[in-house]
Amino acid sequence: MPADAFSVTFTINNNCPYTIWPASQTSKGSQISTGFELASQASKTLNIPPQWSGRIWARFVCSNSGGKFCCGSGDCGSGQIECGGKGAKPPATLAEFTLLGDGGQDFYDISLVDGFNLPVKVAPQIRNCTTISFPVDINQKGYPKELAVVNSDGGIIGCKSACIVFNQPQYCCTGDYGTPDKCKPTNYSLIFKKPCPQAYSYAYDDQSSLFRCKGEPNYVITFCP
């Protein structure tokens, strides 16, 4: 794709004290890199096509044993470093984007609707647009054991949402709870919302969690900010 076909850049930083494997899933526009390795304190810049929509997340506790790549947290199930369009297996902290959407605005958010695996920050590189962040590693803080994802060595590597664990309408905003006036925050969603008021903690959390930006900025996405 010629250089002038790209709209903006996403620079992805790894401030975690270990290697991560960022990944993406495109919902609109040309597919960008779907997975790569990023060492601690390293960064990588991706060229993003105009009017792109999709999500970015990070995988960790990964290995290539037996010739099949897999991760303990955020795995996409492709068996390779590149996810090839596959999404993350919950839980995974998602940075979501719709570039040049309605009114020529970018829409962006941090979503914990499916759960949490790593802290993340999204910073538009333009004045007057809000930097959003989930800076707390709640894997280290503890939460209800029914939501926890535990590694083979007993360490917590993620926190599922109540919707993923229980699949009940009041947590998933479905059925009788399928409208914003019926589906409200729960004690489980508040586990995410209290440490990070800017992040989506359940499906209808738009009012405090969906952000807009004009001016076609570049973005810096930092894991473990």
For residue range 68-121, list pLDDT tens digits in order: 999 999 999 999 999 999 999 999 999 999 999 999 999 999 999 999 999 999
For β-strands 94-98 and 106-111, DSSP reports them as antiparallel
Q: Report the helix count and the strand count for the chain, using DSSP H and E.
A: 4, 14
As given in the structure block, the two tokens for residue 72 are 């303990």
Superfamily of domain 3-137+196-223: Thaumatin (2.60.110.10)
What element of type H or E holds 171? helix 169-172
Residue 1: pLDDT band (50, 70, 90) is: very low
pTM, two decimals, is 0.94
Whole-angstrom Cα distance, residue 78 to residue 105?
33
Least confident of 45-54, 105-114, 151-160: 151-160
For residue range 181-193, list pLDDT tens digits in order: 999 999 999 989 9
| pLDDT (0 to 100) of residue 6 | 62
Domain ranges of the chain: 3-137+196-223
The strand ranges marked E within the chain are 8-14, 21-28, 43-48, 53-63, 70-73, 94-98, 106-111, 115-116, 120-124, 132-134, 148-150, 156-160, 211-213, 219-223
Query: Sheet harboring 120-124: ordered strands across?
Result: 43-48, 8-14, 219-223, 120-124, 132-134
Whole-angstrom Cα distance, residue 120 to residue 12?
10
